[in-house]
Structures are given as C-alpha cells and as structure tokens.
Structure 1
Amino acid sequence: MGLREKKAQRNRDRIIAEAMALFGGSGIGYESTTMEVIAEAADISPSTLYRYFPTKDSIVLASLMRNTAKFSEVFAQRVKELPVERALAEAIFAVLAVEDAEPKHALMVRSILSQSPVARARLWDYLGELQFQLTRQLAECLGKKPDDLSINLTARIALEVLMAAADIWRDSKGKVSSRGTAAQFMRLLREGVVLFPDAGTEDVSKGAVLKKSTKKSPVRKIESRLRSR
C-alpha cells in the first residue's frame, strides 16, 4: 500500500470512528447525525467526506463489510493447507471473532441496520457478492464449474451458518458466543440431525425424474469426510 492509499485508509478509519461515536449512546444518534456533522467531527470538508462515503448508510456498512471481507481472505489462505470444509469453518470463525471481541460496536452496527431499510438492502447486495465470490473459490478448489448446484449449495450453507450465528448473537445482545453457536451448527450438520427438504427421486413439480449421479458431489464428499472424523 502506497503513501496515498495509507492516507486514504487513515481518513476512512477516522471518519468511521467519529461517525460511530456520534451514532452511539454518547452521541446524538443515527437519525439526528448529518453528513455535515460527521465531516466536522472528522475535521474534513463535507465534499471530502462525500468522496469517501456518499451516505451515512455506507459508513455504517463499511466496518461490517471490512470484517465480512475476511471470510474470502481467510478461506483462500487456509484452504491451501486444510480440507475445504475446515477452511470454511476457519473463515466463519474469523468473521465472528470480531463480534465476540467488540460486542458494543458490533451490536450498534446491527441495531442501525435494523432501523435502516436502505442499509439492509445494500447489505444483502454485498452478501450476494460474497456468495458469488465464495462460489467461484469453491469451484476452483474442487475442480467444478461455478454453476454446479452442489457448489452453490455449499456456499449458501456456509454463509447461512455465519449469518444465523450472528443473528442469534445479536438477539442475545452479545451474551452468547457467536463462534460457539456456529460450532454448534456445524456439529448438527456433521451429525446429520438437520432435516433437509426431500422430494425423493421424482421432481413432482416438473414431472421429471432426477438422475442419481454415480460421482459424489462436493457436498457429499464434505459430508463423508466429516462423518469419518
């Protein structure tokens, strides 16, 4: 990272810190805080602030997105030395570790998101991008095409474990470990006690018969390895 990029990152960090202080309990609250007030607190001009963040929602999402981005980074690193399913678990734990370590900040971000439909919509767009990226990573690791159904399902399950653990953590106001909850979800999947929709071999809605593959899908490979432990 060059000097210009480092300076820009410091400015972003300062803006986020000042904005979150204003949004928090000791500040004036999210709704009452304007972009001009944030600019003044961060000691920059409003035009400079808008160059970094176009809206208040983008400031709130920035810290959450920066944390969630660790998922792809950690997975890409850990899958070089670990089985795919273990690398997925490590990636989930890396994201949730921040919530467990900084509950006050994380709870405030999630509280603001619950009040802002625009911010939530942008979050879902971002999570969609994260799922797309994970799908491509899994496809590369397992030698499959990104549109392989088993690859898509694996990516969705991994992110659902992450989001469900975070939701339970938020509902408990940070009293329940999000990592611990994610580990419990993984145990339930490993033990095969989670029920899945099952239409049998016949797709009733289309009147088509699904052919059984003689090759194990990535999901079943993962399931087999987990069961053997």
Structure 2
Amino acid sequence: MTAAPPQRPASAEPDRRHRRRQRTRAAIEAAALELFTAQGFGATTVEQIAEAADIAPRTFFRHFPSKDAVLFGDPAHEAERMREVIAELPAEVPPLRAVATAMLDAADRMEPDRAQHLMRARLLDNLESGCDYELQLLKQRWVQDIAEVVAERLGTGTDDPRAAAWTMTLMACFGAAVHSWLVRTDDRPLRAIFVALLAETGGGLVEFAERTG
C-alpha cells in the first residue's frame, strides 16, 4: 500500500503566494525606476513599465495604484504591512516600541535593495515643484496612517497628542537613518543605524525631561 504524501503546512501556500507577490512588486519597482532614470518620470507610462517588468498592465495595478506610487511610495501598502507586524505583537508591548518594531521590519525589507532605494532618492531629489508638492501630501498621509496605528495601540483617538508626536519623532528618526544609510560608504545596516539613532534620541529626550520636569 502506497503511503500518503506528507501534508503541506496550511501556511505554506499563502507564504509562497506572498513571496511571489513581493518578487513581482520588486521587479515592477526596479523596472520603473530604471525607466524614470533613463527617460524621465513624466515620459514614462505604465504600459512601458509593465513591458519592462514582463507583466501585463493589469498586473501592475494589482500592486500599485499608479506610477506615482512606485516613485513616491505607497502609504496604504506600508500601513497595511505595519498593522500586520504590530498585530502579531503582544498587547502589553507599548505603542512606541510596537511602531519602532514595525519600522525595523521595513528596514530589514529595504536592506537587500539599497541600490534601488538610492536610485529612488536621486530621482526624488530632482523632482519638479509640482511633484514635490505631491510628495509632501503623501508624506502627510503616511503620518496620518501611522498616527492611527499609534492611537489604536494607545486605545485613544488620533486627537491624542501623543499619537502625532510619537509618530513624527519615529518617522524623523527613520528618515534620517535611511538618508545616512544611503550616503554612507561603509556597509553598516539600516537596522543598526536606526536603532542607534533611536537610542540617542530617546536618551536625549529623557535627560531633557528630567532636567525640566
């Protein structure tokens, strides 16, 4: 009698689909950034990006709402990932630590694609004023998304000043860490830069509070 094949874990197929989705998303980003660099953001179409990534245009839109989201970032996608990471943490983990943990997850995901992120940073530096305004709106949306996560962890609303204050502090630290990571000539990981910056910032704030409290 032939033995039945071993059962595949229930999570195997979803994990495989997630990895395949992430590979496709990364391929779209790489193709788009190369086209943006070669011929300009405005001159590049979604159809050209899809062709370069060897996908159908409809597949592009399964991963990004527009070509702007490839260059500027997709706050909704990142907020969803952040919520997933935080949801897996125990309820007793404080909000600041929970969001910092989600940002460390982002740092780990960014690490293998440093060259790609450097290309994006250079493109953003050369944006026209209209695009720069759009980028600021997206950053504002990103702050709002994270502040909602912090407020949920606090069990309050986004009118709680801690939600906005802690969000902007963490985002400033993460943004500064990313900038340092991109311009450094050594191979120090983004995670290490971010953790060190958080520690120094937190220590400085504690010292200030103790002196003025």
The answer, yes or no, to whether TM exceeds 0.5 is yes
Given candidates 140, 149, 152, the residue that maps to 1:137 is: 149
Structure 2: gaps spanning 5 or more residues = 1-17
Change in Cα spacing, 1:37 to 1:190, as seen in structure 2 (3 Å) is closer
Query: 1:71, 1:99 → 2: CA distance?
Result: 14
Say which structure is richer in helix.
2
Q: How does 1:1-229 map to 2 (within 5 A)?
A: 13=25, 15-23=28-36, 28-30=38-40, 34-35=44-45, 37-38=48-49, 40-42=51-53, 56-62=67-73, 66=77, 70-78=81-89, 80=91, 82-117=93-128, 118-172=130-184, 175-192=187-204
Query: In the aligned structure 2, how far is the partner of 1:183 from the partner of 1:147?
Result: 28
Q: How many pairs are equivalent?
A: 190
Q: 1:96 to 1:56 in 2, by over 3 A?
A: same
When structure 1 is superposed on structure 2, of 180-189 and 118-127 the one drifting more is 118-127
Q: How high is the TM-score relative to the length of structure 1? A: 0.62
The whole-number CA distance in structure 2 between the counterparts of 1:22 and 1:109 is 11
For 1:224, the equivalent position in structure 2 comes to: none
Distance of 1:108 and 1:156 partners within structure 2: 25
CA contact (8 A) 2:79 2:145 kept: no
Larger Rg: 1
Between the aligned partners of 1:65 and 1:103, the Cα distance in structure 2 is 22
Q: Which runs of 5+ in 1 are unaligned?
A: 1-5, 201-219, 221-229
The percent of aligned pairs where both chains have the same amino acid is 24
Alpha-carbon distance, 1:39 to partner: 5.1
